[in-house]
Amino acid sequence: MIAKVIIDVSLDRDFDYLVPPELENVIRVGMAVVFRFGNSRRTGYVLALAESSSYPAEKLKALDSICTDRAHIPENLITLGKWMAEYYCCSQEQAIRTLLPAAVRSGKVRAKSRRIYYICDQEKARAFIEKNETVASAVQRAAVLKALQAGPLALEELRLTPDFSRSSLSTLMRNELVAVKEEIVRREPWGEGEVLPSAPLEPTEDQKKALLMVDEIIRPDSEKRVILLHGVTNSGKTEVYLQAIAKVIARGRSAIVLVPEISLTPQTVRRFRARFGDQLSVLHSRLSDGERFDEWNRINAGEVGIVVGARSALFAPLQNLGLIIVDEEHESTYKQSEAPRYMARDVAVMRGQLEKAGVILGSATPSAESMYNARNGKFILCTMSSQVANRPAPRMEVVDMRLLPAPEPGKSNIFSPALLEAVRQRVDCGEQCILFLNRRGYARVMHCDQCGFDACCPACSRSNHPIHYTYSRSRCTLSCHLCGTVIPAYEKCPDCGSPEIRYSGTGTEKLEAMARGVFSFARIARMDSDNMKSNEDYEDVLERFRRGEIDILIGTQMIAKGLHFPNVTLVGIINADQGLSMPDFRAPERTFQLITQVAGRAGRGDYPGEVILQTWQPDNDAIISAVNFDFEGFSEYDLEFRELLGFPPFSRLIAVHFRGEDEASVRRYGEEIVKELQPYVLEGTSISAPLPAPIERIKGKYRYVCTIKGTRLKVLRQALRILALHRTPPKGVEMYVDVDAQSIM
């Protein structure tokens, strides 16, 4: 028997070892094993077991042993890891790293134990206490024994008993009344506080319908495994998740719940904790290595049946997995930004298939990819269109910024009169406001302040679907990232002739300063990734907002998600078009999703909410659909646009990135790779020349990107993977591959 093993060094290959006869019956795929590698002894994992090797048997070394102090990887996860390595063009070792948290993989973290003292013989102890309780010379020993009668205690706990003395304890031990032993303790992960248990709610009609479909997908012989649960905010999706999990637990199976980011969804996590208590393990980024190690082992040992966490929780080593839930499935945070650049939503579907488990993808604004799969029958679509408690949707007011009088020189009309007045009224009444501006520093779009003109690529844009040129200051050019067109930058607006052209908008920091000027009577706080350095900062601001110590909260998409503040009655969307100017075909989708989400923050309490949306493009379809809460309309037209231009989900998109300090060699290597790939470019596939990325240079490194688009990319992907992993780029140049890229910035 041959074991193919992988070693924790960056080599994208496995090595063959003979399995000694005494291990043949115990060795399994996924086990950690010890073997000689070169001159040293190494630990690795068994990727596969085979009958024979392509190497001559006499050249093969035998495995030394199976590693007992390291966790083993379940076989299904190994299969998943191999698929990820192939599909996402990364090395097997990178994929295995993703499957096992560093704390578990390293073998350096150990289970934490403590010494506890216990009574050897209760009978003898009782007799001793009775006899000595009042005897002055033994009163301390009696006290120690009495404390231990309730159960074993650690030394630090024993010290708390009155009259404790170390000498009395050691006397008791010498007299064999008390003994000590090691006990494994579970480190208490990040404080959850007290949570009151919650019982299942009587399902609504919509929920009943959804739960019937769940019954369908969790049947082991089911043909379809994935439900796309499209439900407006407050339609009761979370309650469906909870009851669906209860179903699989009742069948003795386990469940994984993925949320976009744990710290941004504390309220959701608390609901899972309330329903499932100790059966739940929450994998949080703030777990220490030790806690992570403990949680992994608890899961691997089958002590917990439900795991909640961000992206990586997908790889929790649960046995007999029955259900995977991906909440807010449209979120781009499900894509990992370093290798392996996997999309957790897609890998969840894959793991579901491997484990014969059901998968629920839930969202109020599902991704185009998932809608496409629902349309073509790959996923089961379940729609929940009404809210549980019929709260009215917030009132939407659109302000057409083009109609405002031009600001006086040196002034700005970032706050429209309607918004100024509305904020003032809310603050006067003791209600709270959110001002949302999703300004990202690098969207260098050419914009005319006079007529609202944005520079767009005529070849790639369709009416209402602008694909913006990216402006490069150093080159004085505008370029299109989808087709590669480059033109000289305009000196004045080609539409109205105004020289007032700008290259970027106002960001939240400037917005905050301006808000402090016009709303001097209000208490204002800002929240974005620039000033929120830690989770504590974030929680601190949210807590002050919750307590009513802040009147106006200004922020980026960080404040758009899932927060529930009943006293917020007004949401101001400062520039709804902001995201539309990204050089990205997903820009309309993201804009629609963000407006929908941020609008959902208004009027969650007893008072109805209002949203004031400022826009330069009130005719834009994404904006119109969002204003009318029309997901179906938006989805239909977004898919149509993507089909027309052959974008995902109608094709696959791979971005190949090149970086380095010397621009010429970065470009040259890009060109070399593109040339190598040409023989694998089948009909219907396009491959662009390497172009400067929208963010051209970071930390002194030039960034080039080549985009590949097509429907039959398998062979090309294989060739690309080999080039990425096995060809050494020139010194100072790096290359990486992003399969199903969410962004090419």
450 binds, among Zn ion, ligand ADP, none (CB under 5 to 8 A by kind): Zn ion
Q: Does 140 bind ligand ADP (CB under 6 A)?
A: no
599 binds, among Zn ion, ligand ADP, none (CB under 5 to 8 A by kind): none
202 binds, among ligand ADP, Zn ion, none (CB under 5 to 8 A by kind): ligand ADP
- Residues 386-425, one symbol each (x = binds ligand ADP by CB under 6 A, - = not), give --xx------------------------------------
Contact 71, 107 (CB under 8 A): no
| Region from 32-40, 81-89, 228-236, 495-503 binding ligand ADP, contact rule CB under 6 A | 228-236
Q: Does 265 bind ligand ADP (CB under 6 A)?
A: no
Q: Does 683 bind ligand ADP (CB under 6 A)?
A: no
6 binds, among Zn ion, ligand ADP, none (CB under 5 to 8 A by kind): none
In whole angstroms, how close is the CB of 398 to ligand ADP at the nearest point? 25
Burial of 640 (0-12, 13-18, 19+ CB in 10 A): exposed
H/E stretch holding 722: helix 714-726
Q: What is the DSSP string of 98-143?
A: HHS-HHHHTS----EEEEEEEES-HHHHHHHHHHHTT-GGGHHHHH
**Structural Rg of the chain based on CA atoms:** 30
Q: Does 239 bind ligand ADP (CB under 6 A)?
A: yes
233 binds, among Zn ion, ligand ADP, none (CB under 5 to 8 A by kind): ligand ADP
Q: Does 600 bind ligand ADP (CB under 6 A)?
A: no
Q: Which of 43, 76, 233, 620 binds ligand ADP (CB under 6 A)?
A: 233
Structure tokens at 318: 């649960």
The dihedral formed by the CA atoms of 323, 324, 327 and 328, expressed in degrees to the nearest 10:
-130
Amino acid, single-letter form, for residue 458: P
Q: Does 202 bind ligand ADP (CB under 6 A)?
A: yes
Q: Does 238 bind ligand ADP (CB under 6 A)?
A: yes
Residue 321 or 448 having the CB closest to Zn ion: 448
Q: What phi and psi, each to the nearest 5 degrees, are found at residue 205?
A: -60, -45
Residue 380 or 677 having the CB closest to ligand ADP: 380
Q: Which of 74, 81, 189, 236 binds ligand ADP (CB under 6 A)?
A: 236
Contacts to Zn ion from residues 468-497, by CB under 5 A: 480, 482-483, 493, 495-496
Q: Does 605 bind ligand ADP (CB under 6 A)?
A: no
In whole angstroms, how close is the CB of 481 to Zn ion at the nearest point? 7
The closest of 322, 346, 495, 522 to 434, measured between CA atoms, is 522
Q: Does 365 bind ligand ADP (CB under 6 A)?
A: no
Structure tokens at 99: 């499957």
CB atoms within 10 A of CB 79: 18
- Cα end-to-end distance, the chain, whole Å: 48
Q: What is the DSSP string of 614-673?
A: EES-TT-HHHHHHHTT-HHHHHHHHHHHHHHHT-TTSSEEEEEEEEES-HHHHHHHHHHH
In whole angstroms, how close is the CB of 363 to ligand ADP at the nearest point? 10
Contact 435, 508 (CB under 8 A): no
Helix (H, G, I), strand (E, B) or coil at 341: coil
Q: Does 237 bind ligand ADP (CB under 6 A)?
A: yes
In whole angstroms, how close is the CB of 208 to ligand ADP at the nearest point? 9
Q: Does 235 bind ligand ADP (CB under 6 A)?
A: yes
653 binds, among Zn ion, ligand ADP, none (CB under 5 to 8 A by kind): none
Amino acid, single-letter form, for residue 361: L
Which residues does 438 contact at the CB level (< 8 Å), separation at least 6?
Answer: 556, 557, 560, 578, 579, 594
Q: Which of 92, 234, 365, 742 binds ligand ADP (CB under 6 A)?
A: 234
Kindly provide the residue ranges of all beta strands, DSSP E only, lying in 274-352, ordered along the sequence: 280-283, 306-309, 321-327
In whole angstroms, how close is the CB of 331 to ligand ADP at the nearest point? 14
- Residues 490-529, one symbol each (x = binds Zn ion by CB under 5 A, - = not), give ---x-xx-x-------------------------------
Q: Cis ω on the peptide bond leading into residue 203 (within 30° of 0)? A: no
In whole angstroms, how close is the CB of 362 to ligand ADP at the nearest point? 7
Which residues does 536 contact at the CB level (< 8 Å), separation at least 6?
Answer: none
| Region from 3-11, 54-62, 116-124, 232-240 binding ligand ADP, contact rule CB under 6 A | 232-240
Contact 615, 626 (CB under 8 A): no
Residue count, binding to ligand ADP (CB under 6 A): 15
- Residues 441-470, one symbol each (x = binds Zn ion by CB under 5 A, - = not), give -------x-xx-x---x-xx----------
Please give the residue ranges that form the binding site for Zn ion (CB under 5 A).
Answer: 448, 450-451, 453, 457, 459-460, 480, 482-483, 493, 495-496, 498
Please give the residue ranges that form the binding site for ligand ADP (CB under 6 A).
Answer: 201-204, 207, 231, 233-239, 388-389
